[in-house]
Structure 1
């Protein structure tokens, strides 16, 4: 009888610990003066915490404000809700307005550490679009010792000293038909890294004729996350992965599959 009670208590303890990891939960006002954020925990997180990567998604200016539901309109968590498998803790902060603050983003990492969210510190990644593309490069360039890899879509960089971007595997992507943020903003970053001979960890693509919004499809491609997760902070020399390509065909097919999955769910 005692053995049975002990087993039941142990099982209850496990379930209670697991319950703190809601799949998608809103973290509001948990960091004084900091960002509110969504936190996604994968289903098997409780059993694989120490090997779980952490991904930070940074939205564009259109999602700024105080209504956190706006952050779910596109991006990594939206892709997960549509059926994409992203085996990582995903942080999706909301910027109330203005430029992304690298310090406030780092505050989120420190909050996770202080609140027993265990993850692989060698595998922290950031991806962002538009204003989030600026935030991605600013975050990478400020904390190159914390970020394993970054992908910056149709953005730029506001850091005065951009040389530390060369320390991190970084993929910069911009459409030449972008009327919201000119491709020149990304090109300036690439040109600066070239002048300083810091391109050994850099990838960049100028997508011919692509508009600003077209690059949002990268969030819905499995290859995007395969590329990011292929890097680790402790990789010798921290080389950039160049064998994984993401074609326009890949993006179109990925988004089509995501939309098909949503259509199926509506009728189930």
Structure 2
């Protein structure tokens, strides 16, 4: 409980008011809601490529936020990283759909203990994760999305969600960028062929740095070639530097799903 409260407080402290450019960028995200046949719903925001042309195919990026952004306002999930994705520079170089669902309060993208040294992936996804994966399928039917360029990323609670989604659908995603999260090392072989760039702070006391290190090592032992960036002396916030790095976008959007 203490770890969860600290994670929430840490994220809130980092929620600085965006500058004018960031505010303008975030206004581009359209508010929507996805509902399944049983009435379960997931609020989300979607950024569309400028001058969207249905005759062309575009990448899709799914972003899962951290614990501090949970709620029902369909706004809070945009606070970290999304202004970077929606910046004029990134949108011009890499026209893409960017989708940011919001996890309801007291729920998780992946049902595991963030403070644990390791975990075994649950047999069934959490409801928010199940709806997120269904949302991807739904958007592929609605828009002209390149099935070979669907990417997943997320931070903290969303970092765990990124690993969870990747391990549940190892053949769907072209690349993943999990930030300060952790996955099930026993399932590393399933995703060894997927390009992954992992990020973590070297002094993270909320989600142990070893969670990322262990996943990277497990992927290497399974024959994978993951990229790993660890920020020396950095605590839990390893996402600001990551999403502000132009090389991250260059790498991400260059990836294509392997046949």
Q: Structure 2 length as normaliser, TM-score?
A: 0.73
**Paired position in structure 2 for 1:180:** 206
- CA deviation after TM superposition for structure 1 residue 228, in Å: 0.8
| Offset at residue 24 of structure 1 (A) | 2.1
The aligned length equals 209
Whether the aligned pair in 1 keeps the contact of 2:201 and 2:237 (CA below 8 Å) is no
One of 75, 82, 105 as aligned partner of 2:81: 75
CA distance in 1, matches of 2:193, 2:162: 14
Task: Find the counterpart in structure 2 of residue 108 from structure 1.
Answer: 135
Q: Which residue number in structure 2 is paired with residue 58 of structure 1?
A: 64
> What's the CA shift for 1:217?
2.4
CA contact (8 A) 1:141 1:163 kept: no
Matched residue, 2:242? 218
The answer as to whether partners of 2:180 and 2:236 remain within 8 angstroms in 1 is: yes
2:181 to 127, 147, 155: 155
C-alpha separation in 1, matches of 2:71 and 2:173: 26
* SS of 1:135 mapped into structure 2: helix
Consecutive aligned runs of 4 or more in structure 1 exceeding 4 Å deviation: none
Deviation at 1:113, TM superposition (A): 2.6
Post-superposition CA distance 1:15-43 (Å, at most 9, x none): xxxxxxx9421112444424221111011
Question: When you count helix as a share of all residues, which structure comes out higher?
Answer: 1
Residue pair 2:203, 2:235 contacting (<8 A) in 1 also: yes
Give the deviation of 1:169 after TM superposition. 0.7
1:138 to 143, 155, 164: 164
Q: What is the DSSP-based 3-state SS (H/G/I as helix, E as strand, rest coil) of the residue aligned with 1:124?
A: strand
Structure 1 residue 193: deviation in Å?
Answer: 2.9
Could you tell me which residue of structure 2 aligns to residue 228 of structure 1? 252
Q: Structure 2: how far apart are the matches of 1:149 and 1:46?
A: 24
- Contact between 1:127 and 1:151, CA under 8 Å: does it hold in 2? yes
Tell me whether 1:45 sits opposite 2:87 in the alignment: no
Residue of structure 1 in register with 2:147 after alignment:
121
1:164 deviates by 1.4
Displacement of 1:98 after TM fit?
1.8
Structure 1 residue 88, shift from structure 2 partner: 0.7
- For residues 64 and 209 of structure 1, what CA distance do their matches in structure 2 show? 27
Contact 2:162 2:176 in 1 (8 A): yes
Pair member with larger Rg: 1
